[in-house]
Amino acid sequence: MKEPASSLTVTLIQTALHWENISANLDMFEQKIGSITEKTEVVILPEMFTTGFSMNPSAFAEPMEGPTVQWMKRMAATKKIILTGSIIIEEGGDFYNRLIWMLPTGEFGYYDKRHLFGYAGEDNHYTAGHKRLIASVKGWKVNLQICYDLRFPVWARQSSALMNQEHFDPKKNSEPEYDLLINVANWPERRNLAWKTLLQARAIENQCYVAGVNRVGNDGGEVYHSGDSMIIGPLGEILYHSSHKEDVFTYSLQWQPLHLARTNLPFLKDADPFMIGI
User: 3-state DSSP call for residue 163?
Assistant: helix
Q: What share of the chain is helix, strand, coil (3-state, %, to 5)?
A: 30, 30, 40
Is 141 in the active site? Answer: no
Q: Residue 72 and residue 104: Cα distance in Å, rounded?
A: 9
Give residue 161's identity as a one-letter amino acid code.
A
32, 73, 113, 196: the catalytic one is 113
Is 147 in the active site? Answer: yes
pLDDT digits (tens, 9 = 90+) for 29-47: 999 999 999 999 999 999 9
Q: Residue 212 and residue 143: Cα distance in Å, rounded?
A: 12
pLDDT given at position 115:
98
User: Structural domain boundaries of the chain?
Assistant: 7-270
pLDDT digits (tens, 9 = 90+) for 18-29: 999 999 999 999
The correct CATH number of 7-270 out of 3.40.50.300, 3.60.110.10, 3.30.470.10, 3.40.309.10 is: 3.60.110.10
pLDDT digits (tens, 9 = 90+) for 56-87: 999 999 999 999 999 999 999 999 999 999 99
20, 47, 62, 189: the catalytic one is 47
3-state secondary structure 174-216: CCCCCCEEEEEECCCHHHHHHHHHHHHHHHHHHCCEEEEEECE
Is 171's pLDDT higher than 70?
A: no
DSSP assignment letter at 272: P
pLDDT given at position 238:
98
Q: Residue 114 and residue 154: Cα distance in Å, rounded?
A: 12
Q: Residue 41 and residue 10: Cα distance in Å, rounded?
A: 6
Find the helix packing angle between 22-34 and 67-79, rounded to 10°: 0
20, 62, 73, 147: the catalytic one is 147
pLDDT band at 276 (very low <50, low <70, confident <90, very high): confident
Is 172's pLDDT higher than 60?
A: no
Number of other CB atoms surrounding residue 272 within 10 Å: 8
Is 175 in the active site? Answer: no
Q: Which residues contact 123 (CB under 8 A, 6 or more apart)?
A: 116, 117
pTM for the model:
0.94
Q: Which residues contact 107 (CB under 8 A, 6 or more apart)?
A: none
